[in-house]
Chains A and B, each alone.
Chain A
Amino acid sequence: MASSPDSSEPAPSPSTSPQTEKPPIEPIRLPTVEEIKGQDIWNNCAVRSVVSGVMGGGLGLFMGLFLGALDNPLMQEEMSAKQQFIYTAKQMGRRSFSSAKTFAVMGVIFSAAECIVEKGRAKHDTTNTVVAGCVTGGALSAKGGPKAACMGCAGFATFSVLIEKFLDRHD
């Protein structure tokens, strides 16, 4: 039936000519038990969305810090330098925290939606990204009413497709 996991015959390595040094061909290895377990863990929708949420939170933290540092206080002439510094620091902290929350929620929703859609369709496509982007955009802008939700859906779907194409550009 299936070949035993340890049957790996080393393929003959090519003779190294003085001009070209090819890397040695590695023998075929069946995946080990740890690799299979690792793949199973990564294929779990809950684990994936939590990891995406944490990464989104980290990204939002840094973005919020950066954008908060650029924010100028309103009463610039009346405050001394130290007061301005404290105000800017507090602003940075507040901004980064709220930004981290937003990005974390965005990451969780997007990853969970994409995972569920891909598992349901049993296909790896851009349609998964479009649907997941639409759900995320709609969920994030649902407070503004149905029209805002539609715009958010379309915008975020386009954005995520572009990002996906950019990340897979080396073909």
Chain B
Amino acid sequence: MQIMGMMEKEMEYRVEMFNKLTQTCFDKCIEKRHKESELNMGENSCIDRCVSKYWQVTNLVGQLLGSNRPPM
């Protein structure tokens, strides 16, 4: 029973992270004025870098939160 609850929470957490990730990288990388429908090379590499950095930040923050229990 508890496992179902935990899995639900995990799923919600992942969905939330995905939504925030796409929103952040979309706002950061793609110009407001769309000149064409395809992603050009600059935007493509920007999104690659954005996702990679976001993921690293998530992992790092998670580690820092997990390791140091008493507040610094």
In the complex the two chains form, is B43's CB within 8 Å of A1's CB?
no
In the complex the two chains form, is B46's CB within 8 Å of A122's CB?
yes
B residues contacting the other copy or chain, number (CB 8 A): 16
Residues of A108-138 whose CB lies within 8 A of B: 115, 118-119, 121-125, 128
Q: How many inter-chain residue pairs (CB < 8 Å) link A and B? A: 35
Residue of B nearest to A40 (CB): B44
In the complex the two chains form, is B18's CB within 8 Å of A2's CB?
yes
A1-B14, A2-B18 known; A168-B42 Cβ under 8 A? no
State the majority secondary structure of interface residues on A.
Answer: loop
A72 interfacial by beta-carbon distance below 8 Å: no
In the A-B complex, the 9 residue pairs with the closest CB atoms: A122-B46, A124-B42, A123-B42, A122-B45, A124-B40, A118-B42, A119-B45, A118-B41, A122-B42
A: which residues have CB within 8 A of B? 1-2, 39, 43, 115, 118-119, 121-125, 128, 168, 171
A2-B18, A119-B41 known, 16 other contacts, Cβ within 8 Å: A1-B14, A1-B15, A1-B18, A39-B44, A115-B41, A118-B40, A118-B41, A118-B42, A118-B45, A121-B42, A122-B43, A122-B49, A123-B46, A124-B40, A124-B43, A168-B35
